[in-house]
Amino acid sequence: MELSGIQKIIEKNGTHRSALIPILLDIQDEYHFLSRDALACVAQTMDIALVDVYRAATFYKYFSLVPKGEHLIQVCLGTACHVRGAPGVLNEIQRKLHIKPRETTEDKLFTLETVNCLGACAMGPIIVMDEEYHGQMTVSKVDKLIESFKKHEGITKDEQDKKH
Ligand code: FES
């Protein structure tokens, strides 16, 4: 993680204390986690005690102090989704990616999380991939969805290789 990138994010948001959360959100979005160095840089540049920056970073579930994957998969385990088969969908994702909730695949492509009721129970069971809702999920639909993401990443990586 380059600290010049962190500095740019701070410059964009300003150093007023009220900018702390927007800054942490921007860093999380850009780097998929909040590193120790990034938090120290934020504390120093904004003249805020490091403990206060950590307090904000650990208060919100959205923030992660360890690297997250490129793609975030959230499986709803609320009651309606649960009775419609969410546990089976979750099991399939775990089996396919070899990770448990709150873990990230070795290739840093996917992070898996569980959530409680996304407010769209009629579509259950639901998973959210990178903020996009996918309803009426089944084991075979999950397989196809993950494969399509992997394929897309493969194409992207090939394209990147050609550029270098
Ligand atoms: S229980 Fe899953 S959206 Fe409500």
Is 86 close to ligand 1, i.e. is its CB under 6 Å away? no
Residue 101 Cα to ligand 1 midpoint, Å, equals: 17
Do 79 and 136 share a structural domain? yes
Residue to mutate (ligand 1; options 74, 75, 81, 128; most atoms within 8 A of CB): 81
Structure tokens at 65: 């102090």
pLDDT in tens, 85-116: 999 999 999 999 999 998 999 988 999 999 99
- The answer to whether 155 and 99 are in contact (CB under 8 A) is no
The pTM (predicted TM-score) of the whole model is 0.71
Is 69 close to ligand 1, i.e. is its CB under 6 Å away? no
What whole-number distance in Å separates Cα of residue 122 and Cα of residue 103? 28
Tell whether 66 is covered by a domain.
no
Is 118 close to ligand 1, i.e. is its CB under 6 Å away? yes
Do 81 and 159 share a structural domain? yes
Structure confidence at residue 156 as a pLDDT band (50, 70, 90) = low
Residue 32's domain comprises: 3-59
Tell whether 64 is covered by a domain.
no
Is 81 close to ligand 1, i.e. is its CB under 6 Å away? yes
What whole-number distance in Å separates Cα of residue 66 and Cα of residue 60? 14
Average pLDDT, the chain: 90
pLDDT in tens, 24-61: 999 998 888 899 999 999 999 999 999 999 999 999 88
Count of domains in the chain?
A: 2
Which CATH number covers residue 99? Answer: 3.40.30.10
Structure tokens at 3: 């600290």
Q: Residue 145: CB partners within 8 Å, gap ≥ 6? A: 127, 129, 134
- The answer to whether 41 and 6 are in contact (CB under 8 A) is yes
Tell whether 36 is covered by a domain.
yes
